[in-house]
Amino acid sequence: MPRSAPALTPRRLTRQIHVGSVAVGGGAPVSVQSMTTTKTADVEGTLTQIYGLAAGGADIVRCTCNEEEAAEGLAHIVPRSPVPIIADVHFHHEMALAALDAGVHGLRLNPGNLRKPEEIRLVAAEARDRGVPIRIGVNAGSLHPELYRRFGGATPEALVESARMELAYFAEVGFSDVKISVKASSVPLMIAAYRLAAETFDHPLHLGVTEAGPPPAGLIKGTAGIATLLAEGIGDTIRYSLTDDPVSEARAGRQLLEALGLRERRGLDLIACPSCGRAEIDVIAVARQAQEALENRNLPIQVAVMGCVVNGPGEAREADLGIAAGRRRGHLFIRGKIVRVVPEDEMVSELVAEAERLVAEGVEARLAAADAHAEAEAAADRAELLDARGSDANAAQVRIAEIHHRFGNDAQS
């Protein structure tokens, strides 16, 4: 549910292009991209994956176009796709031309392996005439050998120079409908390259840490690079490159943009406390049950699962909805206000039911429907738990006294 959030660094204003119906740059929302892993010639299998990617949060999907059969597949896929399709082309400019014939909404060219100037100009001229944008997809692992020699390796300057050279070929035929990526598998190199690209070009930038690997490490690397740049106002489209089901890439991209406040929430955001000495339930297990029960419902809310009723509702007061465990009971709360006390074995089912009502009816209506006795029951549960566990359930004061003793500060304890 939309909430105001502190602003990040203002977005860098770029030229705007359109990949099919999706505006990129120029103040448009940051878009999520992913790529199919099927053989593009497998039309039905590829479309099934594209629909899964769109449901997972992808605004744009890229498909490989590496052979004639793939181009033929694209001719069937593009008109049936729910999102714009970009053709990924390496080495053979004929594949780029065939993809344009198939009706794709965009091309991705790697200047490191499509090197002949006359072929680059030909593809750009065809794209210009058809109104199809091109992403210059520079990759630190596949630069032109001359750039490695000139710059002493894959440096930020080498990556940006590769994009600049490709733009110069495009300019010769009057083509400028371009977005740029300067990816690397090294997060520091990727960040430095994009910062330099942002200073050098006014074209929209497509962010990604290439070959990030499987989760969780791949997610961490991708987030470290992409989120750093987005927080600085850099980036117009994003892609996680994970060794995983590509739908997980789309979900991660969408969740990152929602977490940064760059896209309106459309799916679940579940938060949970790390548990403590006062916890009355297995927080991890209950959080997992709630996640499994809620995530496929596509409810655009933040839900909290808290281990105890003493601090839980207050700590999670910013959540749209939450449950906190009492003694054999759960306290259901909306924006920190207790609305109902439910039996422990009904906590997850009641949480799911209330989530659906909250989305359908709105916060004010659900607060108005709160059980009149809920707050009093919750207060009694809190008091009982404090009597049983004390105010220092984690024995923090004992530990602090030991620390003071170690440093000779016993009087402070």
Query: What CA–CA distances, in Å, run from 12 to 27, 76, 207, 397?
Result: 8, 37, 13, 49
What are 351-395's pLDDT values in tens digits? 999 999 999 999 999 999 999 998 888 888 778 777 776 777 666
Residues 115 and 228 in one domain: yes
Residues 251 and 314 in one domain: no
User: Higher model confidence: residue 377 or residue 25?
Assistant: 25
CATH of the domain at 136: 3.20.20.20
How confident is the model at residue 264, as a pLDDT? Answer: 83
How confident is the model at residue 301, as a pLDDT? Answer: 85
Residue 381 lies in a domain: yes
Residue 238 lies in a domain: yes
Residues 240 and 283 in one domain: no
Instruction: Provide the residue range defining the domain that includes 116.
Output: 17-259
How confident is the model at residue 2, as a pLDDT? Answer: 42
What are 313-356's pLDDT values in tens digits? 776 777 889 888 877 788 899 988 999 999 888 889 999 999 99
- The total number of structural domains that make up the chain: 2
Which pLDDT band holds residue 220 (cuts at 50, 70, 90)?
very high
Q: How far is Cα 294 from Cα 52, in angstroms, rounded to an integer?
A: 18
Mean pLDDT of the chain: 88
Residue 399 lies in a domain: no
Residues 141 and 251 in one domain: yes
Q: Which of 239, 259, 279 is the last residue of a domain?
A: 259
Residues 23 and 153 in one domain: yes
